[in-house]
Amino acid sequence: MVNGEAMSWGTLNLTPKKGEREGVRYWRLAMQLPKLIEGADLVVIERTYSKGAKTAQVLKGLAAVALVACEINEVPYEFVDASHLKKWATGKGNAKKPEMIAAARAAMGITDEVALTDDEADAYHLAAYGQAHQ
């Protein structure tokens, strides 16, 4: 919750399994995302930049699938740069993963005993950012 308002966030493992073709990650997202965004007020997508060509290709492909799902389901969407999200969440535009996790833990009021990955922390911050900026 942010400001007393409920929000949804989470992660999906879209990594192809051994023997699967690369396109399966996009297919998995295309099959799962429409159900997950049904009734959403906003979808926030992190705009990332990668030095590696393959990673950049994958991230752009996943973003394209997300945009199509939002358009088909008439769900508004917004992009936020990774550095802007980090600054919003931690006060530092170059915050490292442990700082993002710590900020998410503090915002959610959870202790170190509860497992929280960097992807989950990013997902939380994206949802909280979207809710705060609607």
Q: What's at 131, amino acid-wise?
A: Q
- For residue 126, pLDDT over 90 is answered with yes
CATH class of the region 24-132: alpha beta
Nearest residue to 44 (alpha-carbon basis) of 78, 6, 1, 85: 78
- For residue 78, pLDDT over 60 is answered with yes
HEC string of the chain? Answer: CECCECCCCCCCCCCCCCCCCCCHHHHHHHHHHHHHHCCCCCEEEEECCCCCHHHHHHHHHHHHHHHHHHHHCCCCEEEEEHHHHHHHHHCCCCCCHHHHHHHHHHHHCCCCCCCCCHHHHHHHHHHHHHHHCC
Kindly report, residue by residue over 35-70, the tens digit of the pLDDT. 999 999 999 999 988 778 988 899 999 999 999 999
Q: What is the pTM of this model?
A: 0.89
Are the C-beta atoms of 13 and 24 separated by less than 8 Å? Answer: no
Q: What is the mean pLDDT of the chain?
A: 92
